[in-house]
Amino acid sequence: MRVLLLYDYPASPSGLATQGSLLFQGLKEIGVEAYAVNSEASQEKEWYYKWFKPDVVVGVGYWGHTPDLILHPQKHGVQPVPWLVADGYIANYQDVLNKLPLILVTSNWVKEMYVRDGIDGTNIEVLPVGCDTDSFIPLQKDDVKTVAIRESLDVKPDELMILTIGGDAASKGGQEVMRGLAMIKEKVPAWKYVCKVWPQPRTETQNRADLELALELGIAGRVIFSTGITSRNYIPHLIAACDIYAAPSRLEGFGMSQVEANACEKPVIGIKAMGLLDTMVDGETAFLANVAQKIVVDHATIGTEAGYEENHRIDFDIPRVVDYRANSEDIAVYLTELMSHPLLRIQLGKAGRKRVVEHFDYRVVARQFVDIISKKLGIN
C-alpha cells in the first residue's frame, strides 16, 4: 500500500498538523510506504503523483479544504480519501463528497454532523486521532522539567494546578470552568487555574473578556493566562505539571488534548457531548458535565473558503446547533471530588492512560487505517 498524506507539512503545533503527522509516523513504523506533503503545495503534490503513484491520497482537514484535499488529486487521476473534522456546518461540496468511496472522520459525532448536512453516511468511517504515548507519559511531581514549568507559572508546590490548553480558553470551556471554580473557591485545597493559549488577535480579545469574568467571579488572583508560542516538545511536560485537566469544550470533534492528558495519567473534566463521548469514559477516565445550553443558529454567512462569493447567506430549514455550554454546577461538583481526593485523581488517570494506549496510540490508529483501506477499497 502506497499512501501520500496531505496536511500542514512540515508539521506546525496545530491539531490538524499533529493529526496528519502522527498517522504518517504510525504508517512508517508499521511498514507502510508513505510520504507527506503540504496540502497547498500543488506542484510538489503533482511530483509525488507522477513518480510515487500513491494508491490513496489522504488529506487532513475539513470540508472547506475540498479543492486541495479531493479535487486536486482527482484531477490527476489519484484516489483521494479525506480525513475530516467538523466545522459547524457543511455548506458546500456535498456532491463531491457523496461521490467518494470513502470518507474518514475523527468521531461518531463528526459523522453525525456530515450526515445531518447532506452527506451519505454509507461510506463514512470513523478513524480516531492518534496519540504519541511515548511522549505523553506520566511523570513524577518532582521531575525537574515539571517543577520548572510550575515555577515559571507561579504555581506553588502546595497548590493544585487545573489546566486548560487551547487556541483560546473559552472555546475549550474555560469560562464554564471558572464559574465552577468560583462556586467552590474556599471549599477545596489551594489551587491555581492555568489557561495555556496561542498568541493571535482573536485570543487577545478573548483573554480580556475571560479576565473580566474572573474579576467578576472574584478569582482573578488564581487564574493565569499563559500566552505564547510553544512546541509539541513542551506540551507533555505542561500537562504533567497539572493535577486536573479541565476542557469541557464548546465544540469538540475528537478531544486531542483531553486524550493527551489521559495519556499523562491526568483525570479529565469534559462535556457529555460531541467527540468526547468517543474518547472519554464518564466516571472511569473522566467526569463529563451535562450540557447546560446549546447555541442554535438559523443561518450562516460564508465566503470564498466555501466556494461561494463573499458574504453568501444560507438560511437553514431546521436551525443548527453550532456550540455547546457545559453545566458549571456539574463542573463544580467534579472539581470538588477530584481536588479533595488525591486517590481518585490517580484512579481516573491510570484508567485513562490504559484506554489511550489500547485505543488511541498512533500505531494502533495506523493499523486501523490500513484495515479500513483494505476493507473499503480493496487496497493492500
- CATH, residue 184: 3.40.50.2000
| 136 falls within a domain | no
Query: What is the average pLDDT across 248-262?
Result: 97
Q: What is the pLDDT of residue 112?
A: 95
Confidence of residue 106 (pLDDT cuts 50, 70, 90): very high
Tell me whether residue 160 is exposed, middle or buried, using C-beta atoms within 10 angstroms of its C-beta: 0 to 12, 13 to 18, 19 or more: buried
Separation of alpha carbons 185 and 240, rounded Å: 23
pLDDT tens for residues 273-312? Answer: 999 999 999 999 999 999 999 999 888 887 776 677 888 8
Predicted confidence (pLDDT) at residue 227 exceeds the cutoff of 80: yes
| 264 falls within a domain | yes
Give the rounded percent of residues in the chain with a pLDDT score beyond 70: 99
pTM: 0.95
More confident residue, 319 or 351: 351
Task: Identify whether residues 95 and 124 lie together within a single domain.
Answer: yes
Task: Identify whether residues 22 and 104 lie together within a single domain.
Answer: yes
Let me know: does 167 contact 201? Beta carbons within 8 Å: no
Task: Identify whether residues 206 and 122 lie together within a single domain.
Answer: no
Task: Identify whether residues 150 and 107 lie together within a single domain.
Answer: no
Task: Identify whether residues 94 and 175 lie together within a single domain.
Answer: no
Separation of alpha carbons 138 and 265, rounded Å: 6
| 246 falls within a domain | yes
Predicted confidence (pLDDT) at residue 88 exceeds the cutoff of 80: no
Task: Identify whether residues 241 and 311 lie together within a single domain.
Answer: yes
- Pure H helices in the chain: 15-29, 42-51, 66, 72-75, 94-98, 108-116, 144-152, 174-184, 201-217, 235-240, 256-263, 276-279, 328-340, 342-359, 362-377
| 137 falls within a domain | no
| 65 falls within a domain | yes
Query: What is the average pLDDT across 173-202?
Result: 95
Separation of alpha carbons 356 and 244, rounded Å: 17
Separation of alpha carbons 183 and 192, rounded Å: 15
Predicted confidence (pLDDT) at residue 346 exceeds the cutoff of 90: yes
Cell numbers placing 53: 503513484
Longest Cα–Cα distance in the chain: 65
| 319 falls within a domain | yes
| 122 falls within a domain | yes
Task: Identify whether residues 125 and 186 lie together within a single domain.
Answer: no
Cα dist from 374 to 33, 79, 81, whole Å: 15, 14, 13
Task: Identify whether residues 226 and 311 lie together within a single domain.
Answer: yes
Task: Identify whether residues 88 and 181 lie together within a single domain.
Answer: no
In the sheet that holds 244-246, the strands lie side by side as: 223-227, 191-197, 160-166, 244-246, 268-271, 286-289
pLDDT tens for residues 204-218? Answer: 899 999 999 999 999
Name every residue whose Cβ is closer than 8 Å to that of residue 333 and which is 6 or more positions away in sequence.
Answer: none
Task: Identify whether residues 181 and 236 lie together within a single domain.
Answer: yes
User: Could you give the angle at which helices 342-359 and 328-340 cross, rounded to 10 degrees?
Assistant: 110
Separation of alpha carbons 324 and 173, rounded Å: 9
- Pure H helices in 52-189: 66, 72-75, 94-98, 108-116, 144-152, 174-184
The count of residues in the chain is 380
**Domain count along the chain:** 2
Task: Identify whether residues 320 and 205 lie together within a single domain.
Answer: yes
Predicted confidence (pLDDT) at residue 101 exceeds the cutoff of 90: yes
- Pure H helices in 70-143: 72-75, 94-98, 108-116
Predicted confidence (pLDDT) at residue 238 exceeds the cutoff of 90: yes
| 256 falls within a domain | yes
Task: Identify whether residues 186 and 279 lie together within a single domain.
Answer: yes
Separation of alpha carbons 289 and 273, rounded Å: 9
Q: What is the pLDDT of residue 309?
A: 82
- Grid cell 495555556 — which residue? 196
| One-letter identity of residue 7 | Y
Q: What is the pLDDT of residue 40?
A: 97
Predicted confidence (pLDDT) at residue 349 exceeds the cutoff of 90: yes
Q: What is the pLDDT of residue 297?
A: 87
Query: What is the average pLDDT across 67-76?
Result: 98
| One-letter identity of residue 267 | P
For residue 88, give its domain range: 2-130+361-377
Query: What is the average pLDDT across 75-93?
Result: 91
Query: What is the average pLDDT across 47-66?
Result: 97
Confidence of residue 132 (pLDDT cuts 50, 70, 90): very high
More confident residue, 322 or 26: 26
